[in-house]
Amino acid sequence: MWKPTTKLDRRVVIVRVMALVLVTLSLMLAAFLYGRSQSPAGLPEQDRESVALFAEALNTVRQDYVDQEDVDASEQTYGAIRGMIDSLGDEGHTRFLTPEEVEESREAISSTYVGIGIRLQNKDEEVVIASSMDGSPAEEAGIESGDVLIAVDGESVKPEEFEEIGDRVRGPEGTSVDLAVLRDEDEQEFTVERAELEVPTSSWSIIPGTDIAYLRLSSFSENSASKLEGTVLEAREAGAERFILDLRENPGGLVSQATEVAAQFLPAGDVVYIRRDADDNEEETTIPEGNEPLDAPLVVLVNEGSSSSAEIVAGALRDNGRAKVVGETTFGTGTVLDEFPLSDGSAILLGIAEWLTPNGDSIRGSGIEPDIEVELEEEQEPRTPDETEDLTQEEIFEEDAQLQRAFEVLQEQE
């Protein structure tokens, strides 16, 4: 039914049109300003000169380099970004990631990954399968600990290419990989299908003849804290009353998981770490009220492979007097990372703040110093809790002087 237009109706229409025009103009202005901020013209004079210098160098290479087939624009850009990041000096932490490395980084902090479930080890100039995960495709195929890997998909492996070998074994879920191994000098071949696997971030075993549980936390990925909590509960139900927390070779991960792990051992109000930003403002992260931690003797194991969140936990337990730290000085990753995605899917992991231990110690570049310093003896190769289940106490300590010293520290607390 037709209805005559009133003055009120016309005013409403005019207001709506004006509002739409204002929104459109605001969006156009925002887009313009963003474009300026992302273009050389929006940069400070010093930075514009740097960008112009890079463009000059790039143009020279593209015009005059003898082998033009090797001139790859994206590789040159990535190389320039890496050089800029490396100049910051935050070695091992702040870094540039290609789109492929971004995906790998996200997988690393996930509680699952796609693979066949083996852990490789470079030993005596051979690539050895140190262990296969329980229930994994590798275990079901018959691959055993101690097998020497000699080929992947028909191509031989070399110990000096150790990191690349892992990439060759990994692949998309549902695809297969062919492995050739030596077992007692007998060559055997396996075809193993890759699958999505749960990351075994936490494991435990009881040191034979004692009430001491050997706990291993391998990373601070998603749900690591809850997995450790479950591990501690299992160990206590098995009779454990004292604990060794092994953070050796733990590369860290999510800082939120570090706080949750520390909360399992520290009472409410204790400081986990202090965050200091670029303006020297400091903020404490503390254990929340109502927290009920494990009240049992504890020793922490660290080495130079312990970094990031592993150092946060070790520092928190040491400075709050909760545990002795045994082993070697840690890596010294003292910055808090934030990810800044770039337009092509690559990203910069940038240290945006520094973290300090509860006592206010900066560990950036210097690491966490253990209360009791112990180095592994030559030829020693520590075993994971899963690998110690069928060993005697003497056999365990024969391979791991650091674990033995941690055990002795707990014995001294009786």
The dihedral built from the CA positions of residue 38, 42, 45 and 49, taken in this order, carries a sign that is positive
Question: Is the pLDDT confidence value at 359 over 80?
Answer: yes
How much is the average pLDDT of 164-183?
91
- The gap from C-alpha 345 to its chain's centroid, in whole angstroms, comes to 20
Other CB atoms closer than 10 Å to residue 260's CB: what's the count? 20
Return the pLDDT at 146.
Answer: 83
Q: Please name the residue that has the structure tokens 């998909």.
A: 153
Question: Is the pLDDT confidence value at 14 over 60?
Answer: no
Q: Please name the residue that has the structure tokens 């770039």.
A: 342
Residues contacting residue 138 through CB under 8 Å, at least 6 positions apart: 116, 117, 118, 129, 132, 190, 192
Distance between CA 150 and CA 187 in Å, rounded? Answer: 9
The answer to which of 22-26, 101-105, 305-309 has the lowest mean pLDDT is 22-26
Return the pLDDT at 7.
Answer: 42
Return the pLDDT at 387.
Answer: 85
List, for residues 242-287, the tens digit of each pLDDT value: 999 999 988 888 899 999 999 999 999 999 999 999 899 999 999 9
Q: If DSSP codes are grouped into helix, strand and coil, which group holds residue 253?
A: strand
Question: Is the pLDDT confidence value at 380 over 50?
Answer: yes
Distance between CA 176 and CA 174 in Å, rounded? Answer: 7
CATH of 202-335+352-412, one of 3.30.70.1560, 3.90.226.10, 2.130.10.10, 3.40.50.720: 3.90.226.10
How much is the average pLDDT of 213-222?
92
- Is the full-model pTM beyond 0.75? no
Residues contacting residue 311 through CB under 8 Å, at least 6 positions apart: 252, 302, 330, 331, 332, 333, 334, 363, 367, 368
Does the domain spanning 114-198 belong to CATH 1.10.287.110?
no
- In which band, very low, low, confident or very high, does the pLDDT at 23 lie, cut at 50, 70 and 90? very low
Percent of the chain with pLDDT over 90: 49
Q: Where are the beta strands (DSSP E) in 133-194?
A: 148-152, 155-156, 176-183, 186-193
Return the pLDDT at 235.
Answer: 97
The answer to which of 137-146, 183-192, 296-305, 404-413 has the lowest mean pLDDT is 137-146
Selected residue with higher pLDDT from 358 and 335: 358
Residues 311 and 273 sit within 8 Å (Cβ to Cβ): no
List, for residues 67-123, the tens digit of each pLDDT value: 877 777 778 888 888 888 888 877 767 888 888 888 777 766 665 678 898 878 777
User: Which secondary structure element, helix H or strand E, spans residue 230, and what is its range?
Assistant: helix 224-237
- Looking at residue 327, its amino acid is G
Domain-wise residue ranges, the chain: 114-198, 202-335+352-412
